Amino acid sequence: MDTVTGTDVDENTRVSRLLDAQDKASQLFDEVGRRGFVRAGITERALSDEIRDLARSMLGVTRHWHKRIVRAGENTLATYDANPRDRVIAEDDILFLDFGPIFEDWEADFGRTFVVGDDPRKVALCQALPEVWAAGREYFLTHPDVTGEELFNHVVALSKDRGWEFGGDIAGHLVGEFPHEKIAGDEIDSYVAPGSTLPMRRKDRSGRQCHWILEVHLVDRERGYGGFHEELLDLP
């Protein structure tokens, strides 16, 4: 296992490792769908444990850099820091998965939404998530000096324009070698959020290029549910 990280790794290698980590996370979620793990009658915690075990057997994952999140129904309104009660996934439900598996000391952060059943409003929300994400990424790509605060405000506006409320406190964060917190700490400029006023395209204090996750949390508070979508922002 190659666990070389930090300043010993050149930028091309860093990019390759981050993309590889994301590709493996995507494979994991695809397999979750293929095996029918997302289903009514199972609790969020039990589903989280099933995915954890699948990640271990399928990809050798033994660590996650943030808590494993499975949220369904009204729990999908909660932001990351909340810890809502464990809920049983219901018929005709909506839920999202947010996992941060570590692959050979490189972080992935991947979020997807699933609909159990065919409720048209929930299906519409699920379909809107990648569209808002893609529009947010397009803004990032076409604004070279964009700050985290500017991108956050734009994603909030995109959400509203499509008839949804943006439900998150942030719209993304730095990602990199585990643990990325040691690269930039907990400063607000490590996030796509209000108050993050540095250009996102910059070097960290160790001289490495900053790489970002973009996350979209859309909610329908009146109906009591939401959805979530996240992946690498600045890498193809």
Domain residue ranges in the chain:
6-232
What is the pLDDT confidence band of residue 99, given thresholds at 50, 70 and 90? confident
Residue 191: predicted pLDDT: 94
In 3D, which of 29, 31, 15 has the Cα closest to residue 208? 15
Reply yes or no on whether the pLDDT at 115 is more than 80: yes
Q: How confident is the model at residue 177 (pLDDT cuts 50, 70, 90)?
A: low
Please provide the average confidence, as pLDDT, over all residues in the chain: 90
Res 14 pLDDT > 70: yes
Two tokens, residue 170: 């942030």
Say if residue 178's pLDDT is above 70: no
Paired with 212 in beta bridges are 174
User: Does residue 176 contact residue 183 with C-beta atoms inside 8 Å?
Assistant: yes
Q: Which residue has the higher pLDDT, 9 or 113?
A: 113
**pTM (2 decimals)?**
0.91
In this structure, what DSSP letter does residue 203 have? B
pLDDT value of position 4:
42
* Average pLDDT score over residue span 138-163: 98
Pinpoint the alpha helices (H) of the chain: 11-34, 44-59, 120-142, 148-161, 181-184
The CATH superfamily of 6-232 is Creatinase/methionine aminopeptidase superfamily (3.90.230.10)
User: Of 136, 143, 233, 152, which is closest to residue 192 (Cα–Cα)?
Assistant: 152
b/e sequence 81-101, b meaning 16+ C-beta within 10 Å: eeeeeebebeeebbbbbbbbb
